[in-house]
Amino acid sequence: MLLALVKIVSYHIQPMVNENSDSKHMYPNKAYSHKISFESTPNPSTYKFLFHEELLPVSQEFTSPQEAEISPLASKIFGFPWTSKVFLGKNFVSITKQDWVDWEILAEPLSGLIQEHLDKGEKLIHTLSDIKSIDDSLLDPISIKVKQIIARDIQPVVALDGGEIVFHSYKDNVVFVQMKGSCAGCPSSTATLKQGIEVRIKELVPEVLEVVAI
């Protein structure tokens, strides 16, 4: 997350255009040609497993087997007792483990499990309607602007480390966000929030006095 902090402050990312964001990305039923790879993240409890292509138009986090029922892949991962959290990004999945087991034991088998899931063309999410998102039509102009900044300038950077920052609400000049994936519980998340995300948002939206994680 410290790398993300530097990039958020100094790097302006152009808006990304998704030319293929329909629901077919939830069903990788074509021949899957990529080999799953994995890497550590700044959060020692979380590893990032890369699909190497965009398979989902939206992201979703699961913190329990009950929440994961809408995702066949997440449900499969929650079948292991050491699973703490599963975050499905657009082109990766971040998995957070409990402390009593090591990644040296888990990473290779998990990579094979995810590879097999995709090779068989099994679903990642049942339907997009299962995923709840904020209705922009209900937001005030500042909230919309902040949400756009997070999506354009911040989210692509933290996604490199297997995380996500999500706009939650705006009230009394304070922006509230949720930190997901590897961002949640990361030792450097506070520095990233205050010295990276908050600085960037306040730079572009002077009305904002503070950014707080909920």
CA-based nearest residue to 158, from 188, 115, 125, 114: 188
152-191: per-residue pLDDT in tens?
999 888 888 888 888 999 999 999 998 888 888 787 778 8
Report the distance separating Cα 144 and Cα 28, nearest Å.
Answer: 32
Cα 193 from chain centroid? 15
Spatial distance between the Cα atoms of 87 and 186, rounded to a whole number of angstroms: 14
Mean pLDDT in residue range 190-212: 91
DSSP notation for 177-206: EEEEETTTT-TTHHHIIIIIIHHHHHHH-T
Domain extent listing, the chain? 2-15+133-213, 23-130
CATH superfamily ID and name for 2-15+133-213: Fe-S cluster assembly (FSCA) (3.30.300.130)
SS3 75: helix
Q: What does the alpha-carbon distance between residue 35 and residue 119 come to, in Å, rounded to a whole number? A: 10
In the chain, pLDDT over 90 holds for what percent of residues? 57
The mean per-residue pLDDT over the stretch 126-132 comes to: 74
Q: Residue 198 pLDDT more than 50?
A: yes
> CA–CA separation, 161 vs 109, rounded Å?
21
CB-based contact 127:23 (threshold 8 Å): yes
**Does the CA dihedral 127-159-46-190 come out positive or negative?**
negative
* CATH, domain 23-130, list 3.30.2320.20, 3.40.50.720, 3.30.1370.70, 3.30.70.100: 3.30.1370.70
Model confidence, pTM: 0.74
> Percentage of the chain with pLDDT > 70?
83
Gap between the Cα atoms of 102 and 86, Å rounded: 17
C-alpha angle 113/20/76, rounded to 5°?
Answer: 20
